Amino acid sequence: GEGAAEEMPELSDGDDDDIDDDDDEEQWQWLEEEDSQPVNVTCLFCDRLLRSVPATLQHCTAEHQVNLVDVIRKHNLDDYGYIKMINFIRSTKCDASCLTGLPDAPLPWESEDFLRPVLQDDPLLQTDPEEICGNEGSGLLTSPSSVAESHNALLQRAQAAEERARCSEEALARAMDDLHKLKLLAQGLVLNAETGRSGNLSTVAELREDEDEAYFSSYGHYGIHEEMLKDKVRTECYRNFMYRNPEVFRDKVVLDVGCGTGILSMFAARSGAKKVIAVDQSEIIYQAMDIVRSNQLEDKITLIRGRIEDINLPVEKVDIIISEWMGYFLLFESMLDSVLYARDLYLADTGSVYPDLCNISLAAVGDRQKHQDRIAFWDDVYGFNMACMKKAVVPEAVVEVVKADTLISEPTIIQTFDCNKVCLSELEFASDFCLKITNTADCTAIVGYFDIFFDKVCSNKVMFSTGPQVTKTHWKQTVFLLERPVSVQAG
């Protein structure tokens, strides 16, 4: 391959002298041990409570004739081995003598089960075995009463710990940047391999039995999100609603259902939200994580992958639910059912779903040429009669942009929903309607579209329409063709 994606990106230098400062590490690890605040540590071999980890180790040596430092060194225990040993002793209540004369391998605590703590918040598990061994006899394993650190010394150690934390954060940031570069490199390699591969395309064309999985998988493709973000009517309306009504979001907890790239979550965070929880089932969530970090909003926005019906949020209630859930003709392949689920489970009594109001409208269309192309076409197809196809074609709605000058009636609203009140059962409905004809013509189709409103407690109300009379959106309009044109009179 020769693409730029295959060139190894320049990565940060992993060496950091500040982080390798052994003296600082000793101060950091043993700061809590040397604090004057005593802790209660239960002995490993009896019920006695000791006032510190060093005191406990001295007690085990004096009273039970077992030196844990010798055991750690003899078997070269790392952090995990040390933790397993402590939990093994506590869970089996073994005698101290069983630790002497153990074979080099296998050790009785090899099982991963011994990684599970026996005692909650066991101070022995919070102690670094390297520090135990490295500080034996240094005065740090003396009793707490003999450790008298001055206020200035403790302050210096705290400052050193803070500096180490800062250095660690910088190293983590560099590592995250390196990871992102490598991820882009891997994506480039995979994409190049796919485009150069011939033959079996079954993995691309594979149909999934689970409709939900197929739906969410489609939203993992970046082109869909690009199309939605470039829909200025849609995106700017959400932005204007949040930016022009900051009092609605100030210090609120917001849930973004189907967050995609996280654009609505970031609008909410910039509008003053205290916390935003963004949920999406598709793999776009991983790009959203990078986007949120790139805009320094990770302290406000928490991203979770999964269906809202299957996950548990880190909060009991939210103040606001935002979502761009609308499908074609409002309800086709929409996520409103998921939004209503989240509303019923998580929305506070005084909270609100946005957008909160929406309606569906119909209008008559007179477009002979379009009807000829779609319906009359089947009467003569290269000299063959395929008129039977009309019965199959007519029931299928067509999503396309309708020219405003082909409208021959005033629109009429056939249904209105309040997203804070509507029930799932109300989303399936039948509605009689009348259209006031404005032009004498042949009616060839009925066009459907929807309008969206951000209304509740908004000082600056915002709305947008997907109708043929205004700027087009990625939803376009939904056209229901008539099998035969119907002559209509104005009025």
Catalytically active residues, by annotation = 324, 333
Determine the Cα–Cα distance for residues 229 and 287; give it in Å rounded to an integer. Answer: 14
Residue type, 490: A
Determine the Cα–Cα distance for residues 122 and 111; give it in Å rounded to an integer. Answer: 19
Buried-state track 435-471, b at ≥16 Cβ within 10 A, e below 16: bebeeebebbbbbbbbbbbbbbebeeebebbbbbeee
Determine the Cα–Cα distance for residues 374 and 330; give it in Å rounded to an integer. Answer: 24
Determine the Cα–Cα distance for residues 258 and 348; give it in Å rounded to an integer. Answer: 19
| Residues contacting residue 182 through CB under 8 Å, at least 6 positions apart | 9, 11
Determine the Cα–Cα distance for residues 210 and 223; give it in Å rounded to an integer. Answer: 22
For 329, the token pair is 């003709």
Q: Tell me the DSSP string of 97-136.
A: GGGTT--SSS-TT-SGGGGS-SSTT-GGGGS-HHHHHHTT
Secondary element (H or E) of residue 186: helix 151-196
Determine the Cα–Cα distance for residues 5 and 191; give it in Å rounded to an integer. Answer: 9
Q: Tell me the DSSP string of 213-242.
A: HHHHHHTTSHHHHHHHHH-HHHHHHHHHHH
Residue type, 108: P
Q: Compute the half-sphere exposure of residue 489: CA atoms within 13 Å on the CB side of its CA.
A: 1
Return the bridge partners of 409, or none. 437
Task: Supply the DSSP symbol for 402.
Answer: P
| Residues contacting residue 417 through CB under 8 Å, at least 6 positions apart | 357, 358, 359, 426, 427
Place of tokens 């409002």: 330
